[in-house]
Amino acid sequence: MDELDRRIVNALQGGFPICERPFAVAAEGLGIEEATLIARLAALREAGVLSRFGPLWKAEGLGGAVTLAAMAVPPDRFEAVTALVNAHPEVAHNYERTHRLNMWFVLATETPQGIDAAIQAIEAETGIPVLNMPREAEYHVGLRLEA
């Protein structure tokens, strides 16, 4: 990352303009062209420096729910169970871990009751218990990149 990439990452963590041409407004604040900002963000994504660029919805504020879930999946069934779990539209961010609980994923549903329904469906399909770990407190960790 060069100095401009660091400035972009630092500037866009605090919010993004909501308007007809948000990239143009954000670029103006950085003193660069809109096309430059878009190209830099695309390059950071392609390089894996940014894993995603987009809004982070607070499901609870919209009437929904989010939870972290984990499963202890037998290694010989991991791929098959992954396919079953990922087929649920409520599932996001499914990761393999080197731990007894080797599959960790996020469930996001339109209603709080949807969490239990999704967990019950996954357990029924896989025959494996799902550990539900709802958030007890929310923390915000900001990242600021020094020049």
Q: pTM higher than 0.85 for the full model? A: no
Q: Do the domain assignments include residue 37?
A: yes
Is 31 in the same domain as 73?
A: no
Q: Are residues 11 and 67 in the same domain?
A: no
Cβ 85 vs Cβ 103: under 8 Å: yes
Residue 51 within a domain? no
Look at the chain and report how many structural domains it folds into.
2
| Same domain (yes/no): 107, 73 | yes
40 plus 65 within the same structural domain: no
DSSP type of residue 26:
H
Same domain, 31 and 92: no
Residue 111 lies in domain: 59-134
pLDDT tens, the chain, 147 aa long = 899 999 999 898 877 899 999 999 999 999 999 999 999 999 999 998 887 777 766 777 777 899 999 999 999 999 999 999 999 999 988 999 999 999 999 999 999 999 999 999 999 999 999 999 998 887 766 777 776
- 79 with 39, same domain? no
> Which among 90, 21, 9 has a CA at the least distance from the CA of 51?
9
How far is Cα 28 from Cα 26, in angstroms, rounded to an integer?
Answer: 5
52 falls within a domain: no
